[in-house]
Structure 1
Amino acid sequence: MRARRMMRRCSLILALAALLPASALAQGGGRCGELSPTEMEEARALFIAGSAAVEAGRWSDAVASYERAYQLSCAPSALYNLAMAYRALGRHRDARDAFDRLMALHPDLNADLRVNAQQFRREEASRVAVLELVGIDPDARTEISFDGRAVPDEGQRPVVVETDAGSHSLVARLPEHQPFVWEGALSDGQRETVQAVFRPIPTGDDTVAVVLLVVGAVALVGGGIALAVLLQEDAQLQPLSPFVVEL
């Protein structure tokens, strides 16, 4: 069933490829400005390359081709295909936003195509995962990093981070406090609420105690690793050990 749905999606994308050489570029020209013959040929070549990537199942390549084709041409078919490629990759947030752009920037979109885009947009929006960070003072401004990218704190509470399914990490920093760290996995459409707890950075004697605890923990971990290595090496010398390789 899933394979048949994916085949229908691919067919829809490839069927739209025929729109670019004629009407699509003309529709985009007014919004993007006149294309030179070289730019027009580049946009067409990119569109064809995107369609070929779809046929080969190379969705990431299709994204790059359709994105550049749309930048050049403003062709709604290129943006539609870009949204569908994001959808196939499970990049639901990007797909939702691409469908929003399609309907906002192309009000004269074919009626049937608009209906399809609206339906796909609703589906993609329902699959966006959301992480809510609660417990942060509304007057405070935190430095937040999610999966290595900065998330601006504009004062909205709770802090809301949209993402796709998978394993993620978040680090929130508040001046004079220890960083708050969260790591976890989110599924499609999951909405997870996390309580942020910021502990003041110890000062004076407390700092020394914390340093000693950290050093002790590191030493303990290091000792555990050393013991594991010794045990493994010892196991390699025992004939019945599973680490022994017979030649």
Structure 2
Amino acid sequence: MKPGTRRTTVGRVLLAVLVIAVPVGVFIGTIGIGGVLLPPALTWLGGLDIHAAAGTSSWAFLFTGVVGTVGYARQQAMPWRFGGLLALGAAPAAAAGALVNNVVPATVLWLVLGVVTAGSGAWNLWARPRETRELPAPAAVVVGAVVGFGSALTGTGGPVLLVPVLLALGVPALTTIAAGQLIQIPLVGFATIGYAAQGNVHFGLGSVLGVLAGAGALAGTRLAPRLRGRLLHRVVSAALVAFGGFLFVLPFLPR
């Protein structure tokens, strides 16, 4: 390939990867999920291996976590105590998940995540509305640990696993989405440390992606509170079904 052609191809690939960052951020800010799109984009469009894609995505999600947390806090919609308990379990588990990522194939985990995500979304779409509930503190810490490990293992940022789990447990949609912003910060922070220790983080690319995704997340935090109640619940549930379907086909896409 000629140098000029190679530069054009690289430019198009980078443009495609950077463009997807904004909608990913909007999804994260509005419905809590969307980060699952970034690692495969970095792999199939950007040419990164799966471990570097997960590590770079984790660094980018630190930006969306900060922006999303500030956005929901300004609207007085952040469940600080609940989110703190989730983060308490997620932080150490995320570091472990990042280390395991380097030695364990992710195909089976992607399929499990697909079942959890799509199954939870379908259940919440067609089941009768349930009474909302609060999780006891020990249960919140355990949920955080499970989410932290699984999210760091796949480089998905946290909410893509947290949202279906909390909705299935009867936690209100807006509380779930807001908590997902807060949990991202310690989760991806510890995950990034684990990935960086193995040389699997491209900080420059991840920072640019993070800034763009953060801008999208800010817009999303302003949209979600306008969809309060059952409407937000149904929007999130439908999105879970769609993202779950994507997770099913993800391991089989050509690289």
Larger relative CO (CA 8 A, sep 6+): 1 or 2?
2
Structure 2 length normalisation: TM-score? 0.26
Structure 1 length normalisation: TM-score? 0.26
Higher normalized strand content (fraction of residues): 1
